[in-house]
Amino acid sequence: MSSVVDKSKVPWWVSNLIVPIVNLILALLVSALFIFIAGENPIEAVKLIIYGSFGYIEGFAYTLYYTTNFIFTGLAFAVAFHCRLFNIGGEGQAYIGGLGVYFAAIHFSFLPVPIVWILAIAGAIVFGGAWAFIPAYLQAKRGSHVVITTIMFNFIASSLMIYLLVDVIRDTNQMGPHTIAVAKELWFPTFKEFGELIGIKVRYSPLNLSFLLAIAASVFVWFLVWRTKWGYEMRAVGHNTQAAIYAGISPYKNIIIAMVISGGLAGLLAINEVLGVHHKIVSGFPAGYGFTGIAVALMGRNHPIGIFPAALLFGILYQGGSEVTFDMPNISRYMFVAVQGVIILFSGALENLFRPQVESFFVNKLNIRKKG
């Protein structure tokens, strides 16, 4: 029986907590099957994932480093999505954001370090936002769908950056397509340095101050979307454009605002990569985080509080997954791409597959308890 559940009777924790967890468990079961078929023991694999991502301090730091990137790109997608815009362009926006960081760090290095950092953050936001502005404008004024234009803009960004990295801003003393390094004092303090400060010995890990920036960005997004006039108007346009027009809210303006903020957040990924890890622009540094961010946001229900655990989960899969491929010869790194795919499938595309059953199960159970 597919009974329709009265949505108002479903407690928030069932739809926002239990259902995602059920989906996740199902995804992991299917993934376990993959690993089993590949000839490895799924339970051992899970142990390795947990050990790899939490079992030792460097592993944990790696997990949080990946999490940082997913938070930025997840938040970016979520902001646009509240205005019902599918921003697939996080990848390109992050890439272009790198230019802003780089130029600020190179051209303003004479200023005090914290000021340069702020300028670099502003640069990431402005460049990422500007890259999102073009598709936003085209959507608002010309009706070109952002899904299409942002995908195209990823390719344009990639080609543009390769051109710049090869012909314009390449470190001419080196062979590779990357820029010169920014001044050492501008490098973001790492977890390693922090560990030394409080007396924990950490070998290399890419985790750096950007993690705190990601947390700050989460708070910012929450405040923007639910506590400001702009967020309110963006959500109104996203839910019901007709009503927004009736209330005197301009859809055009809000499409542009939402996309620019979204692009700016994606641009922040460049802070983690350029100031925190590589200390220069290397070709292809967004490395797919922009795309995975879509899954993170969808899984996190486009709310910062949901995006954090979703980003952490993908961080665990990235870090734990590389540990598994290292120790289990039959599992290639592509297997973990498949596992991610299965998780995205279950928590995105098949999100509502078991929702009615799970919700009606809990609703019935609660009813019985109330009556009894």
Q: In the complex, which residues of this chain contact another protein (CB under 8 A)?
A: 7-8, 227-230, 232-233, 235-236, 239-240, 242-250
Min dist. Cβ of residue 242 to another protein (A): 5
d(CA 278, CA 285): 9
For residues 149 and 170, give the distance between their C-alpha atoms in angstroms, rounded to a whole number: 28
Which residues make Cβ contacts (< 8 Å) with residue 292, sequence separation at least 6? Answer: 70, 73, 314, 340
Q: How far apart are CA 60 and CA 202, in angstroms?
A: 11
d(CA 26, CA 346): 7
- Distance in Å, CB of 17 to another protein, minimum: 18
Helix (H, G, I), strand (E, B) or coil at 190: strand
Residue 292 phi, psi (nearest 5): -65, -30
Minimum gap (Å) between residue 16 Cβ and another protein: 14
AA identity, residue 142:
R
If the CB atoms of residues 8 and 172 are measured against another protein, the closer one turns out to be 8
CB of 371 to another protein, least distance (A): 21
Other beta carbons less than 10 A from residue 75's beta carbon: 33
Residue in the structure block whose two tokens are 């297997």 = 335
CB of 223 to another protein, least distance (A): 8
